[in-house]
Structure 1
Amino acid sequence: MRDELPGPHHDWLDSDAGPVVRPYMMTGGRVRPAVGGFDLVAFVVAAVAGGDGRAEQLQPEHRQIVRLSQEPISVAEVASHLDLPLGVVRILLADLLTAELIAMYEPSSAPSFPEDDILKAVVNGLRAL
């Protein structure tokens, strides 16, 4: 049985057709986030409850991000759940961060290198081969 969609009906348009709105329309044509770089493993946490009045006045994608981020979720997972390109999700996250509807927790940027003793042992082991 065919889902009843509003408007004109087409044989090629069904529930499996995916989003009809192009990603650049969701971002208003922007290609870079206004703030932040949003690492893939950074965590997003909602700063407001899902039913908050400010969140209800947003675009559907923004509202979905606020709902998803009621518990910490990574940027990569948000993109996966929304089934949107990562660049689009980063712009939507920047909008929410600017509106103070979410908080971001970036991973530590300090690299941890192995100690010199371990590296020397590996080099010596390779030389022994």
Structure 2
Amino acid sequence: MTDAQEGMWLDDEAGRLVRPYTVSNGRTQPAIHFDLLSLVMATGTRPKTYLGPDYDQVLTLCENRPVSVAEIAARLRLPAAITKVLLSDLLGHEALTTQAPRPIEAASPTDRKLLEAVLDGLRKRI
């Protein structure tokens, strides 16, 4: 989306001219579950019908690298629920791929190395 096109949807004083729930036609539940840390990336396939400027902006954000749902929501300045609906729609049009977040291996709460590292960090701050 060009700056001129984005300017049609934003007002410096008022913010977005189109309310967030209008973007998703009032829908708040995506057809597909997304975690905020899920990564999405554009496939290069464009939807056969024009979905709107917010959808175009999502595809632009995701065309070169995987991007998290949380980052997309922040960049679009939309609630996460609305962003997930947009992503779900694009996934249905095969314009996006998604990857669930990888689980982080939990360290044992009595892991001596971890506790020593925390202690060293605290000492440096004091």
Q: What TM-score results when the alignment is normalised by the length of structure 1?
A: 0.68
The 5 A counterparts of 1:1-129 are 14-36=11-33, 38-48=34-44, 52=46, 54=47, 57-70=50-63, 71-109=65-103, 112-114=105-107, 118=111
Say which SS state the counterpart of residue 59 (structure 2) adopts: helix
Offset, 1:68:
0.4
Say which SS state the counterpart of residue 37 (structure 2) adopts: coil
RMSD: 2.9
The amino acid that maps onto 2:80 is: L
The structure whose Rg is larger is 1
Relative to structure 1, the CA distance from residue 31 to residue 112 in structure 2 (aligned partners, 3 Å threshold; closer, same or farther) is same
Structure 2, unpaired ranges of 5+: 1-6, 116-126
Is contact 2:24-2:86 (8 Å) kept? yes
Is contact 2:37-2:101 (8 Å) kept? yes
Matched length: 106
Structure 1, unpaired ranges of 5+: 7-12, 123-129
Offset, 1:116:
8.8
Runs of 4+ in 1 over 6 A off after TM superposition: none
* Paired-residue identity, %: 35
Relative to structure 1, the CA distance from residue 117 to residue 85 in structure 2 (aligned partners, 3 Å threshold; closer, same or farther) is closer
